[in-house]
Structure 1
Amino acid sequence: MKSFAFQGLNIALTTPFDPNGRIDFNRLEEHVERYLAAGVDGFVFSSGTGMHVYLAPDESKTLIERGARIVAGRAKIIAQTSALLTSDVVDRTQFAKDAGADGVMLLPPFFEGPSTDDSVFDFYAEVSKVGLPIIGYNVPQAVGIRITPDLLRRLSELAEFRAIKDSSGDLAGQVKLIGTGVEILNGADPLVPFSLFAGCSGLIWGGANVTPRACVSIVKAAKEKRWDDVQTQWRVLEPIMSLLWQGDYGGYVPSAYAAAEITGYGSGAVRKPFRPVPAERIAALKEALGSLIEQETAR
């Protein structure tokens, strides 16, 4: 992987909640320290896996501020600052900058927003004025806007636009984005080894909440170009990463929270409107995890 500020494994961190559905800030430090001990390179606070869209703006800001304070320079800090209003995105991005974030990740305009290349460019150009590195976000199946190679080249001309997180799940499309020469962060769990081999610059990985040590290990093997080891390790990781990505039983996020409980990295129950996953899903998660349960809990 290239020399890049956000290379390696950036964990799309789950947000800890108490039994009443409030953010459990008392558990946040322990939560972060566990992943630092596992060796992750960076944290995405207020991530999609951390239920960004179901956090109030002040909750998201406090999470970013406290998270950055806990990490204290020991890993990179990426703050998701996505919002519907451009002015809100600018405000959140300025807050993240003041709180010590190294960069922000943000969706293009969404929910029936403008979808032309010009409007997407104008949006990122406005946020770029804050003066903090930006990671764009390509997830067309959720947002309705696809970041094409041509648009990505144009966005890369902005002073603060550094990379795109590609969560499309389209490997052929991601290879085309990598071909632009702009930094690409894979965000689709089942594509990890293929994206690494294709030359992505790093990962923003939600499934790393579940098996951080195994995820750190496979990224290290890829960095060292030990592709036989990558293949061997992926055979163990693939069942759980594919199962999470399928999104059955209420979606990706509830399954990620449930699976992390199984491996000892739990962060409480998911917040409403999500519901806890049923017993049959827990059984399927345990089966998919297999030997990873013992590997992750033996720490």
Structure 2
Amino acid sequence: MLLYFEGLSSLTYFGRIVDSACITIRDFTMMTDFIFSGVNLAVTTPFNAKGKIDYARFEELIEQYLAAGVHGFVLSSGTGMHVYLSKEESKELVAFGAKIINGRARVIAQTSALLADEVVERTRHARDCGVDGVMVLPPFFEGPTDDQGIIDFYSTVSEAGVPIIGYNVPQAVGVKVTPSLFKLLCQIPNFVSVKDSSGDLTAQTALVRTGVPTLNGADPLAPFALFAGAAGLIWGGANMAPKTCVALAKAAAERRWDNVQEIWQSLAPVMSLIWQSDYVQSVYAGAEIMGYGAGNPRRPLARLAEDKFGALRDALAPLIEREASTL
């Protein structure tokens, strides 16, 4: 079957992708029993004019995204400015968000921190707030990079007793989750998955082939990752077009690949654009254009430069009508 996807490559044979991943369409199944399947929205954190968290707006956004059908929320995500929130702000945000969502969608809290003890503290707090899982970066900023050091770290976090999603983003933290390490990590109690944001489809399909649920975190790879067997999506770009992103995930779960292709043609231009640079600023700006505004990112990040707004609006143009009409 010949499929055309803008934004990643010109002509792509799914059969060729399948061959490289050593699986076949017959073997491919969506892991619908996996608790974190579908679209898990790495939701933006709204800020007011003084740079403080705008909780009233956050509640409004949550309701908008629930109405759009998102399956889960990642609170204090990277897109939600986790690294620029204090520990107390992050904990308060998780408690507030979990209370508002109140079981209407899954809740994942990012509890990453430099100190292992702080990660455990944040994770226990998230557990007590009733989250369904936590997302945790491996040790970073001169932390251990050997497999045993990573295993020991996640073993410590597992003591909090909540499902853990690891985070593979080697370009940012210098630690690569390989298939062999992934298998070892999944022997740790409560370690259930990894979010792969490497942006490397070949590397991600290698994780998928372990048989352990793998979550795609690279926006431009969404349909390809689902076809290759990713169990779900953690998606920051979905802040801009949640209905369309949910429709894509639903079509993929039902193996309606022609529909996936058609939907992706609307999403691909913007998902490719925002991945190239200024990701968080672009998501905030694009969400505002599409009616899901969260204010400006928090300093030191600034509002997207004006000379980049035109290209972003152009990339979003195919989504405006679709997003308004998608149920």
Per the TM superposition, whether the score is higher than 0.5 is yes
Aligned partners of 1:262, 1:109: CA distance in 2, in Å? 36
The alignment yields a C-alpha RMSD, in angstroms, of 0.9
Which of residues 17, 30, 39 is equivalent to 1:9?
A: 39
Which of residues 280, 283, 289 is equivalent to 2:307?
A: 280
Return the offset for 1:279.
1.9
| 1:93 aligned partner | 123
Q: What stretches of structure 1 of length at least 5 have no aligned partner? A: none
Return the offset for 1:271.
0.6
Is the CA contact (8 Å cut-off) linking 1:264 and 1:297 kept in structure 2? no
| 2:104 aligned partner | 74
Return the offset for 1:296.
2.8
After superposition, give the CA deviation of every residue in 1:220-248 in whole Å (9 maximum; x if it has no partner).
0000100001011111110000001001x
Q: Does 1:177 align with 2:207?
A: yes
Aligned partners of 2:303, 2:324: CA distance in 1, in Å? 22
Task: Percent identity, please.
Answer: 58
Aligned partners of 2:256, 2:198: CA distance in 1, in Å? 26
Return the offset for 1:297.
4.7
SS in 1 for 2:50: coil
Return the offset for 1:278.
1.9
Give the TM-score, by structure 2 length: 0.89
SS in 1 for 2:160: coil
Q: Does 1:119 align with 2:165?
A: no
Aligned length: 296
With over 3 angstroms needed to count, the CA separation of the structure-2 counterparts of 1:204 and 1:267, relative to structure 1, is same
SS in 2 for 1:126: helix
Q: Does 1:38 align with 2:85?
A: no
Aligned partners of 1:288, 1:74: CA distance in 2, in Å? 31
Aligned partners of 2:220, 2:39: CA distance in 1, in Å? 15
| Paired amino acid for 2:247 | S
Matches of residues 13-28 of structure 1 in structure 2 within 5 Å?
A: 13-28=43-58
Is the CA contact (8 Å cut-off) linking 1:165 and 1:185 kept in structure 2? yes
| Paired amino acid for 1:70 | I
Give the TM-score, by structure 1 length: 0.98
After superposition, give the CA deviation of every residue in 1:164-200 in whole Å (9 maximum; x if it has no partner).
0000000000000000011100000000010000000
Q: What stretches of structure 2 of length at least 5 have no aligned partner? A: 1-29
Return the offset for 1:277.
1.2
SS in 2 for 1:290: helix
Q: Does 1:217 align with 2:247?
A: yes
| 2:260 aligned partner | 230
Aligned partners of 2:219, 2:154: CA distance in 1, in Å? 26
| 2:291 aligned partner | 264
| Paired amino acid for 2:139 | P
SS in 2 for 1:129: helix
| Paired amino acid for 1:167 | S
Return the offset for 1:294.
3.1
Aligned partners of 2:197, 2:230: CA distance in 1, in Å? 12
Matches of residues 91-170 of structure 1 in structure 2 within 5 Å?
A: 91-170=121-200
Return the offset for 1:298.
5.8
Return the offset for 1:295.
3.1
